[in-house]
Structure 1
Amino acid sequence: MTRTAISSRRRLGLLREADFRRLCAATALGQLGDRIVFLALPLVAITALKADEFQVGLLTTMTTAGSLLVGLPAGAWVDRMRKRTVMIGTDLARALVLLTLPVAWWAQLLTIRWLYTVALVHGVLTVFFDVAHVSYLPHLVGRGNLMEGNAKLSAIRSVTSISGPGIAGPMVGWLGAPVTLLASSVGMALSGVLAAGITKRERKPAEPSRRPRLGREIKEGLAFVLRHAGLRAIILGDATFNLFLVMYQAMLLVFLEREIGLESFGIGIILSGMGCGALVGALVATRVSRWIGPGPVIWLAPLVTCPPTAVMAVARPGWSVCGAAVGLAALSLGGVVRVVAQSSFQQALAPDRLLGRVSATARFVSWGGIPLGGLLGGTLGSVFGAATTLTIGAAGMTLSAVPTFLSPIRAMRTVPQEEAGAAAVR
């Protein structure tokens, strides 16, 4: 084999595996649909239903309430099933739920309550999908390839973060936000079909020696996460970051549409710029983690990349918005680098039988405050205005670096392996 061929094989890595390519394709289509939802769903409320700031914040809350409602039991249920089957089923179900929005719009039946209901159901299904997706990766690629697998999947998500708003913005302007959601439905349906084509089957979870009890299973996953100082610090930092991020995001579209005067195409361009930052983050995540270690990455990323998001609050119509958009791109870059390191840490640490519960527990704790973030964002936006809310959100996201900086993983140079590594971070 020539040196060029060897170099090419190294660059491709996991992409040489057909099943991983199918997972990547499914992830791309599902994430594309999700990115369109991220832009189009609030714009349905803002432009089509003329929702006020509090209603937009409440919609954000309904979108993310699934983590709080089913976050812990989702992990126990997913651990009882094949993860690939859960991914397929939830993708198809999400496609059907989203399809009701353009249908209701055409029938002139769409209301803000309908929008809330769809956001809640879609969010609950997304919890199950995400838990299964994170838990399935170690089965598909092996624990030794987790950093590479997470980085490549993050790169795909980043590309869709660029293309999704770029596609959704013109579609919203041309077809209207409700009809644009039809594209999201199609993307998620195709994602489910591609996931069904993955040939590698994970083993069916072993039947428990005694009748499974949901409470006992949830407690086991919760205990595993909470007894490890590294995992505790990660999820506390995530909880802080996500609370203020959602507060920030709840008012970002309102600020751009009503105070800057951008239309859907311009908003799509801003969000695509965030996707560019995320793509750069995905491309450098593995290299940065190897260079300074996954531990320092986890606390340095928010400390360095969150403060520039405050620039958006002082932006005015014109070129200053472009400068503020650079801060959003930096936020996305740092977020992806941090998440790749955190996900690899979490997946490597958890034994196979607890993957779903560890993932769901971490998600429940770190995402539990997201619904509150939507309400806080809407309330603060109504009282103080969108710009002040963006400033508060930027400050809070920066403070999310504190828990991990004060934890034993602050200087960790390598990702631990299952129980042995877990003991090292108590």
Structure 2
Amino acid sequence: MRKPPTLVSLAIDTALLNLSHISDLSFLPEHILLDLFLRTLRAGKLTEKILKLFVATGKDEVLSLISELNIQPVLTPEYKSNFCLRLSASLNVGKMAQVNIRDDEVDIVIGALHSDLTSFMEEWRAVFSRFHLIIVKDPDLKEDLKIPGGFNLDIYKRSDIEHVVGSSSTVVFSGYSCRYFGYLMSCKKYIVSIDDDCIPAKDDMGELIDAVAQHITNLTTPATPFFFNTLYDPFRKGADFVRGYPFSLRSGVHCALSCGLWLNLADYDAPTQALKPGQRNSRFVDAVLSVPVRVMLPVSGINIGFDRELVGPALLPAFRLAKEGKFRWETVEDIWSGMCVKVICDHLGFGVKSGLPYVWRKERGDAVESLKKEWEGIKMMEEVVPFFQSMRLSQAAVTAEDCVIEMAAAVKERLGPLDPTFARAAETMVEWVRLWKVVTAQMSIAA
């Protein structure tokens, strides 16, 4: 015989039917509140208003459950009225379809550190000619840029940077940091950043790799950071979720950052390259994986793609050493930027992928000379990595800009006393957000 419902169960059912008319739930005991929340999920009735109602109770177990399930408001404009629930209903598990995007939704950003870009542009012509390009000339580069015709592009020089940023700004765009100015000036949803010493790579079948297409594929198919799939990206053709993968997590989350790799000159630091001057990366691995939540990684702007609307402000030029040079062995700025964006992706419920696409990286810079400039940064990483690993943002931080400001305050408080470099980084992070908001507002008015 079926057991009759209890009065508590009937009361919860009644509350579920009338949630849209309730203004306060904080008086409920926590176990009843948890039961009501789970029933709301199962019934598919969790809206932005109702989620705020549960959050407003301030009950620790409820807030922990919301955080654990990674329930976040979707921040992209086209989905503002909906909620992305990471807990999928058992009857609606299947894979999210890849989003088709237009070429005019993508900007290719190139930081130009040498003047003659002719061979670089010709190598990439078949790919780049479909898109709008933003080329940012290193402010310290004296010679005029040489660029072949046939491309849709905008070029930004020192005078443009000074006009936008001003002379009093703490944000510096010297060397490869000039690529960040391109991120700032873009008005497209997706950005792909490829350095001017890279050319298209070939896969293991000898076919040229369309790096832009692969980045877009990574960004427009879900990431799975909350449970590792041993067959890597389950959304790639010929792959799927392995046995034991929770069905409640198979819908995945939005991928906000795609980190590509490169052949030939691997992403070693100066000490490693100085000790192994002849070592090169010749192994093509046909794989993409989602970086697990709470796991840090050293992102490099050499070959990345990202959703500017979701995490654009989180990719920032903030952490600069006193004697930092221009070449990759001499900089730690993009490593800092990468850990900032990873923490923010984890907090906002977005994913990060690493692997394909590859590019071919040419020789540039002297590892031994760079070691003299990079050594201070290498030592600082021993403080930086634990800081980012332990960083937790508040529920009040609901945009990338909010997150950067909160993180800057933590940097100033926890790392600032250790070295003035950290204090300067915190100041620059705040300035970057201010600059981002000003430029974005100006573009909106102009549009």
How does the TM-score come out when normalised to structure 1?
0.28
- Give the number of the structure whose residues are more often strand, by fraction: 2
Q: Which has the larger radius of gyration?
A: 2
- Give the number of the structure whose residues are more often helix, by fraction: 1
User: Comparing both chains, which one has the higher relative contact order based on Cα–Cα distances under 8 Å and sequence gaps of 6 or more?
Assistant: 1
How does the TM-score come out when normalised to structure 2?
0.27
